[in-house]
Amino acid sequence: MAINVNLPQWLDLIIYDKYGAVYEPRPLDVVYNPDQSYDFVKLYLGTYFPRSFAEAYCIILKLFQNTKYKEAIYKIEEINIFDFCCGTGGEIVGIITILQQLHPGLKRINIDAVDANPDSIRFLYHLIKEMDCVGTLKVELHINPICLFIDTGQDFEDLIKMLNMRYHYILSFKALNEFVQKKSFLEENIYSKVANYFLPLLSPYGSLILSDVTTKLDDRYLFYPELLNEGINESLRINTAYKSIVPYSCYYMESKCKGCYMQDIFTVTHSRKKLDRTKVAYRILCNTDFADFIMVDMKQNNCRAINPYADKFAPYR
């Protein structure tokens, strides 16, 4: 069953009334976004920002349902977030919103965010500043927006040199498919590549959340969730310093799995649309020691990859 999230009223007023965002789904036009115009970015803000907000909100909520994860994060008063290909920042605002609700001792959030579209970065920067003025924030927010086009391994290296902290959340939401479409790294698996570059930036209690669309590649038989799982499993087989914690079955099966199809369905309600549905696939990775601590009381679940009758529409477990 889909989980519904209501966009906060103050956020609804900012993006639709103040910023003039437009709700108009255009799935074929959002395949590649770095060079989209200012007007299209407003459409993205009104349509896809709320969906990313809901996805991040629900994913973090699920993480906090693990008692040991919550116990560890409660010790931290200052949280660092890095968002790769952040767009207008729906996932960032979603995480900020849910962390405020779930983490009573949180005092400050530092955000590094990178995207190739300068208008998206501008919207995100001003939106974070608006949040400081709303009056509902209980934490200090500090954002460092970076406009950078990533097209080579050297670009990744240059980006990492700009980042000078360890992160509790590293995110990439519904963006890595664009690298596949553009064939930026030829036959390399972008999900594996991103994991290899960013996992070393995690703090001891940090999580890397890679999320993407559930559609099929234009010129291949694979769906993006299959490619995502293939790449991450490949990375973790080589580097055993990290493991999956979501879905739970991947913690046990990732060394054997060759990739499967997964998705979660969430809905978001705002002033322009009721129960707007979004489908995503995602994996959450962390340091092996932290994963072992989190998973010690978890029972092994049936894996979709080895169950031919598994329902790919069932929620993650």
pLDDT band at 301 (very low <50, low <70, confident <90, very high): low
Which is more confident, 111 or 120?
Answer: 111
pLDDT band at 216 (very low <50, low <70, confident <90, very high): confident
Kindly report whether the peptide bond that precedes residue 247 is cis, defined as omega within 30 degrees of 0.
yes
Q: Is 281 helix (H, G, I), strand (E, B) or coil?
A: strand
pLDDT in tens, 204-213: 999 999 999 9
73, pLDDT greater than 60 = yes
* Type of residue numbered 185: F
pLDDT band at 181 (very low <50, low <70, confident <90, very high): confident
Taking Cα atoms as reference points, which of 64, 129, 132 lies closest to residue 95? 64
What is the overall mean pLDDT for the chain? 89
Instruction: Average the pLDDT over 303-309 and give the result.
Output: 67
Mode of pairing for the β-strands spanning 167-173 and 78-84: parallel
What's the confidence (pLDDT) of residue 306?
66
Q: At what angle do helices 190-198 and 153-162 cross, to 10 degrees?
A: 30
Residue with tokens 């693990």: 66
1, pLDDT greater than 50 = no
Encoding tokens for residue 159? 């980006």
Residue with tokens 């200090």: 140
Encoding tokens for residue 258? 């060759």
Which is more confident, 275 or 218?
Answer: 275
pLDDT in tens, 242-266: 999 999 889 988 888 877 888 899 9
Which is more confident, 189 or 133?
Answer: 189
pLDDT in tens, 35-69: 556 677 888 899 999 999 999 999 999 999 999 99
Which is more confident, 3 or 205?
Answer: 205
Encoding tokens for residue 186? 């030829």
CB 224 within 8 A of CB 279: no
32, pLDDT greater than 60 = no
pLDDT band at 134 (very low <50, low <70, confident <90, very high): confident
